[in-house]
Amino acid sequence: MNKLVLNSESLNNVLENKTISRQDVIGIYQQAKNDPEELFSTAQNLREKFKKNTVTFSKKAFFNVVNLCKDTCSYCTYKAEPGEEKLSLMSKQQISELLQLAKKYKCVEALFVTGEQPEKKYDEAKVWLKENGFNSTVEYLIHASELALETGLFPHTNAGNLNFEEMKELKKTNVSMGIMLENISERLTEKGMPHYLAASKRPKTRLEILENSGKLKIPMTTGILVGIGETMEEIIDSILAIKQLHQKYGNIQEVILQNFQPKQDTIMKNTPSTDEKYFKTVVALSRIIMPEMNIQIPPNLSPKSYQSFLSVGINDWGGISPLTPDFVNPEFSWPEINKVDEDSKKAGFELKCRFPIYPEFFSFISKELRDKIAVMEDVEGLVKEEYWK
């Protein structure tokens, strides 16, 4: 690889594996505002160095277990109210049926998603749990995760703010878990801001959960939401906070950078979607802050241009489902896996399917889970083609 020599001293330092400060990152951003080329080529260089020319994804089925939620975020359409058409309260039967179907479609991941502690606010949630034989959403998730493993899928749970004990229980069946930091800014929780009515999105609360995941050695997916009214400094601080947690516990397996897309029937419906150049700058900055991290953008949220993000530092497309919609962004359907494969090839990358846990984190999981993965893995720790193609 030709050694890049750049005008920016900070970017040269990044390429030489030297640590750069928050101030350096802000300086790099200021320069990139006029001309992002040096930043973009540095990000690309680092991604090549650490991730080669592979881009991964997880072939998943999305289980919208329960979408009642005690929070209200001003940009979310995932949450349902009782009586709404989009209300989802999956029965054990429905979960079993979808697992069977997911196996038929050669999915590898069972993504279990719920609203934030629904039984704390809604009697409907309590009744639903009782009908299925459970006292809490977490008990139900443990049961669903066990079913997934029996069917030959690997669970990844994203159920909001779980406490230490709940996460400890779920670790037994889940190869990884996820919670978005979204942003570390307290300002975004003030009146009139997107997280004002979402107590669970308070940065301290989210950081505590990520901290617990570190103590429990759970491979964790986290990330930020870009374009909800934050400043670039707040983004940089959020990425640095994730980096700090990873330096402490070594358990952050992937960072999702999700671009805001306005939704009808929400308070923020007239807020424009994230500007693409701004978003690419965020992606490239994330790569230079965390050179070895797995960084993904959801391809369905940049349907016309997702492959162009391969040149600014990403190495993963996240979960893509051949059979269930993205219930969090239902208006953006998943691109077909064949199409992603084709677009990645055109951009010079090879698409490979991974487990919901990256190979470098296999040592974090129990022998039992590790043995199940071993049956389906290739020499790189990715999914053998016959299991997903």
Q: How far apart are the first and last CA of the chain?
A: 33
* CATH class, range 46-388: alpha beta
C-alpha–C-alpha distance, residues 337 and 346, integer Å: 14
Segment 269-273 shows an average pLDDT of 86
Tens digits of residue pLDDT in 191-206: 887 777 777 778 999 9
- More reliable by pLDDT, 6 or 13: 13
Give strand ranges (E) for the chain. 54-66, 109-114, 154-158, 176-178, 220-226, 252-259, 295-296, 316-320, 350-353
Give the whole-number percent of the chain exceeding pLDDT 70: 99
Tens digits of residue pLDDT in 111-151: 999 998 999 999 999 999 999 999 999 999 999 999 999 99
Q: Tell me the pTM.
A: 0.95
Q: What is the pLDDT of residue 262?
A: 81
Q: Where in the chain are the domains?
A: 46-388
Residue 77 confidence (pLDDT) above 80: no
The conformational region for residue 217 under phi > 0 = left, psi -120 to 50 = alpha, else beta, is: left
C-alpha–C-alpha distance, residues 241 and 286, integer Å: 12
Residue 1 confidence (pLDDT) above 80: no
H/E run at residue 289: helix 276-289
Segment 66-81 shows an average pLDDT of 84
Residue 266 confidence (pLDDT) above 90: no
Residue 162 confidence (pLDDT) above 70: yes
The pLDDT-based confidence of 21 (bands split at 50, 70, 90) is: very high
The pLDDT-based confidence of 4 (bands split at 50, 70, 90) is: low
Q: What is the pLDDT of residue 3?
A: 61
Segment 88-95 shows an average pLDDT of 96
Q: What is the pLDDT of residue 263?
A: 83
Q: What is the mean pLDDT of the chain?
A: 94
SS3 labels along 14-82:
HHCCCCCCHHHHHHHHHHHHHCCHHHHHHHHHHHHHHHCCEEEEEEEEEEEEECCCCCCCCCCCCCCCC
Tens digits of residue pLDDT in 324-366: 999 999 889 999 999 999 999 999 999 999 999 999 999 999 9
**CB of 301 closer than 8 Å to CB of 334:** no
Tens digits of residue pLDDT in 299-333: 999 999 999 999 999 999 999 999 999 999 988 99
Helix axes 137-151, 92-104, angle to 10 degrees: 30
